[in-house]
Amino acid sequence: MTTHADGGAPVLPALLRAARGAYSRAIHTQLVAAGFEDLPRNGPFVLGGMANRGGSAADLIRTLGVTKQAASQLVDTLVLRGYLERQVDADDRRRMVIGLTERGRAAAGAVRHGVEAVDAQLARRISPAELAGMRAGLLALAQIADRMQAADGGAGLALADDDPLAVAVTAALHAGDVAGVGRLLAEHPGLATGRVVSGGGRAGERTLLHVLADHPGHRPRAAELVALLRAAGADLDAPFVGAHAETALHWAASNDDVDLVDALLDAGANIEAPGAVIGGGTPLADATAFGQWQAADRLVRRGARTNLFQEAAMGLMDRLEARLAATPGPDAEALTHALWGACHGGRREAADALLARGADVNWVGWDEKTPVDVAERAGAGELAAWLRERGGRSATELR
């Protein structure tokens, strides 16, 4: 093959082209020997990644850069041929998850054997240091390709959370380094609309606004950073991609970060954006569920719509009493849930109104706690004692 430039060392493009078939041929040989000839193109990558590296089918297919239609067809084919199966999510029965079947795990084992066969040959030909250098070089090439694609097509970058650029922009955002963030945005087209991709316990994709809003929040110069990112093209309402679909405003509300709540709303963020981990609700749902009362109050003052639970938890008596007086009024289950919320927020007046309408004082609700339990957790000892006078008990006492 013609791989030399000016009679010197082999040029990288030619080497990459010549080498790319090594793994695919070895994997194909193993799959055929094991009886998996019907595995479609890109199937080995998906199955191997799920079984051997812990990736999800959706995340792995996304890295292929195919259309949504092609991705859906690939999953359907893998399901029909018995490699994958769709199941109801045990943690959220509204969602379906895709998992490996026994056949899929067996095929992934054949993929792994093919990879190991080539790895073994490499280990005999080059030193560990040379192999590490090769990996680093290929990773750098992949990152260059991502950034060139983003610059050409206006697409956002996808950066691993340990990528030097991801590390740099995260540090600048958390430090409130407006000039530093501005410089990185100028140097890297696609960064403002890009995502930081994490694995493990934090698996998912965050926008730079999510990075800014991430726990514990309360970053310096938040309003300036939000304005800078918005001017650079960031989507204020872009959802997290992963186990939920929360926006940066959800995260600001969950951290009681009033300054960031204001900054995002001033810039145009949707105060009613769905996607919360709490029932797929709005930022106010997160703020009330997590007891972030300053953020909850600010959201309401700025126009957030409320429901019965939130009105009880925040002690918004005018709204609560109007809802209770309406015809038809809330049903028994809604009243009981609202009582739990009132006690979660330490709101005796709201609790009194709800008990008077028949709410169950001993309902064991979220976190396996009763109204007495959540009142005590909220530090509302007088409310807990008042509930006990009316028959309230802890979940432990009810067992």
The CATH number of the domain where 63 resides is what? 1.10.10.10
Between 219 and 135, name the one with better pLDDT. 219
With 0.75 as the threshold, say if the pTM is over it. no
107, 125, 143 — which closes off a domain?
Answer: 125
**Domain limits for position 324:** 307-399
**Torsion over CA of 67, 68, 73 and 79, rounded to 10 degrees?**
130
Per the prediction, the chain carries an average pLDDT of 89
67, 99, 125 — which closes off a domain?
Answer: 125
User: Rounded to an integer, what distance in angstroms lies between the CA atom of residue 373 and that of residue 310?
Assistant: 18
Q: Domain containing 370 — which CATH number?
A: 1.25.40.20
In a domain, 184, yes or no: no
Q: Which two tokens stand for residue 300?
A: 């309401």
In a domain, 210, yes or no: no
Bond into 274 cis (ω within 30)? no
In a domain, 46, yes or no: yes
Between 41 and 146, name the one with better pLDDT. 41
In a domain, 395, yes or no: yes
Residue 116 pLDDT greater than 70, yes or no: yes
Lowest mean pLDDT among 36-50, 158-172, 189-203, 338-352: 189-203
Beta strand 158-160 with 96-100: parallel, antiparallel or unpaired? Answer: unpaired
Domain count, the chain: 2
User: Rounded to an integer, what distance in angstroms lies between the CA atom of residue 225 and that of residue 173?
Assistant: 7
Instruction: Note the pLDDT of residue 152.
Output: 53
In a domain, 180, yes or no: no
In a domain, 135, yes or no: no
Q: Which two tokens stand for residue 53?
A: 């590296």
Mean per-residue pLDDT for 352-359? 97
In a domain, 53, yes or no: yes
In a domain, 84, yes or no: yes
Residue 95 pLDDT greater than 70, yes or no: no
Mean per-residue pLDDT for 339-359? 98
The answer for residues whose C-beta is within 8 angstroms of residue 112's C-beta and 6 or more apart is: 48, 51, 52
92, 125, 158 — which closes off a domain?
Answer: 125
Nearest to 217, CA basis, from 209, 205, 207: 209
Which percentage of the chain shows pLDDT scores above 90? 65
How many Cβ atoms sit within 10 Å of the Cβ of residue 212? 28
